[in-house]
Amino acid sequence: MLPLRRLAGACRRRGLAGIAPGAPREAADAVVVGAGVVGLAVARALAMAGCEVVVVEAAPSFGTGTSSRNSEVIHAGIYYPPGSLKASLCVRGREMLYKYCAEREIPHKQLGKLIVATGVAETAKLDMLLKNAKENGVDDLQMIEGSEAMEMEPELRCLKALLSPRTGIVDSHSLMLSLLADAENLGTTISYNTTVTNGYIGDEGLELHISESKALENHSVGSPVSPQLILLPKLLINSAGLSAVPLAKRFHGLNQVFVPPAYYARGCYFTLSQTKSPFSHLIYPLPEDGGIGVHVTLDLNGVVRFGPDVEWIDGGKDVTSCFLNRFDYSVNPTRCSKFYPVIRKYFPNLKDDSLEPGYSGIRPKLSGPGQPPSDFVIQGEDIHSVPGLVNLFGIESPGLTSSLAIAQYIVSRYLR
């Protein structure tokens, strides 16, 4: 876990030094930008494959963005279009994640999930989800009558439900800590408070301009940032999450037709003030525009959370603030007024004033309001013709579930 001023020295000790005037220029085998759950999983997989890996992270620690601000659910793979990366990587990643958590004793629990229809018009949508899930290889779903679902969950009200027995929850912090330890034990170097500000693609390959994050904190918008270190990686994985698209837009020499527009959706969570959970399963309504609905999740301590909602925000204008994760994560207490009527459709006994502000997360999306959901984009030389560059765009849910499978996919497809 190195500060930037020691990163160049670490590269030199590995025999990766380059010699050039100005900012130090250091060759690197593989560089991963972003130390979220996907970035750490990719770093671990590359290190296991024999690469010398450097991870650069703008924040003071790992997993401070989307990876730590989500529902912590291990998804089954129900919702995603058959043949999509989200479908295949979620189904594969779910099995890999359960196995990894069991082997490493990472706290997790296979609770199961009920997707509920609360009105007659919604029951046909459950049939569509069941068909979709089967096409994705999720063949253990059960369609049950509302009476059976309500026998399982007495506080629930619904007409019909889909039971997903393989859905669960995981302690995302413990998972990331384990991935980080694996990567570091295999020789990976990680540098926090380190921001990639630009990239150049030239005759000599990839060139990353890097500065300490504190150098950007008081930086004037629009003025150039002088790099403090230049890395020359053979393989670059842009796993920067919320800033993956803005970063790719600053890769000079990359045809920008391959960089999709970025959209940002903030989702707030509210916690239930009562101590005893009314549910033992995760409870999900049917999907909505921009998400999969305000659902009930439980953490491993039994705390009940409702969320997330969907609030579209403008997150891409100030690139520096995006790089430094200066998004507004506050939870407006008045938003709970929209939660009560939605939740009471399936949990009618929800008491007034029982919801308390919890936390919020922001999802990096590739489709905006009213548009159909986009797939993960894992984009390598076969698409953009830049040797050694792999961009990961739109890695929202089910990114946590898919993290190990995404890493496996990248190593098998792009590591030479």
> What CATH number did the domain enclosing 254 receive?
3.50.50.60
> Residue 224 has what pLDDT?
72
Instruction: Tell me if 398 is assigned to some domain.
Output: yes
Angstrom distances, CA of residue 389 to CA of 52, 206, 249, 378: 16, 8, 13, 10
Judge contact between 225 and 197, C-beta under 8 A.
Answer: yes
Q: Which two structure tokens, joined as six digits, stand for 170?
A: 């995981």
Domain encompassing residue 229: 25-67+174-259+374-414
Instruction: Tell me if 242 is assigned to some domain.
Output: yes
> Residue 9 has what pLDDT?
61
What is the 3 state secondary structure string of 246-263? Answer: HHHCCEECCCHHHCCCCE
Is the per-residue pLDDT at 220 higher than 90?
A: no
Is the per-residue pLDDT at 126 higher than 60?
A: yes
Instruction: Tell me if 252 is assigned to some domain.
Output: yes
Judge contact between 190 and 52, C-beta under 8 A.
Answer: no
* Cβ burial 182-207 (10 Å sphere, 16+ → b, else e): bbbebebbbbbbbbbbbbbbeeebbb
pLDDT tens figures, 143-186: 999 999 999 999 999 999 999 999 999 999 999 999 999 999 99
> Residue 337 has what pLDDT?
95
Judge contact between 235 and 410, C-beta under 8 A.
Answer: no
Q: Which two structure tokens, joined as six digits, stand for 187?
A: 């020789």
State how far the Cα of 324 lies from the Cα of 193, in Å rounded to an integer.
9
Angstrom distances, CA of residue 370 to CA of 78, 86, 312, 367, 375: 21, 20, 11, 8, 15
Instruction: Tell me if 401 is assigned to some domain.
Output: yes
State how far the Cα of 58 lies from the Cα of 389, in Å rounded to an integer.
19
The one-character DSSP state at 291 is: B
Is the per-residue pLDDT at 363 higher than 70?
A: yes
> Residue 18 has what pLDDT?
38
The number of folded domains in the chain is 1
Helix (H) or strand (E) holding 238: strand 229-238
Instruction: Tell me if 208 is assigned to some domain.
Output: yes
Judge contact between 207 and 201, C-beta under 8 A.
Answer: yes
pLDDT tens figures, 326-362: 999 999 999 999 999 999 999 999 999 999 999 999 9
Is the per-residue pLDDT at 212 higher than 50?
A: yes
How would DSSP label each residue in 160-197?
EEEEETT-EEE-HHHHHHHHHHHHHHTT-EEESSEEEE
Who wins on pLDDT, 203 or 62? 62
* Cβ burial 49-87 (10 Å sphere, 16+ → b, else e): eebbbbbbbbbeebbbbbbbbbbbbbbbbbbbeeeebbb
Of 284, 235, 347, the closest CA to residue 126 belongs to: 284
> Residue 16 has what pLDDT?
39
Instruction: Tell me if 29 is assigned to some domain.
Output: yes
- As to burial, measured by CB atoms within 10 angstroms (0-12 exposed, 13-18 middle, 19+ buried), residue 98 is middle
Helix (H) or strand (E) holding 150: helix 146-152
The one-character DSSP state at 373 is: P
SS3 call for 120: helix
Is the per-residue pLDDT at 11 higher than 70?
A: no
Instruction: Tell me if 284 is assigned to some domain.
Output: no
pLDDT tens figures, 385-403: 999 999 999 999 999 999 9
> Residue 19 has what pLDDT?
35
Instruction: Tell me if 186 is assigned to some domain.
Output: yes
The one-character DSSP state at 23 is: S
Judge contact between 129 and 162, C-beta under 8 A.
Answer: yes
Of 285, 327, 326, the closest CA to residue 309 belongs to: 285
pLDDT tens figures, 233-281: 999 999 999 999 999 999 999 999 999 999 999 999 999 997 689 999 9
Is the per-residue pLDDT at 125 higher than 60?
A: yes
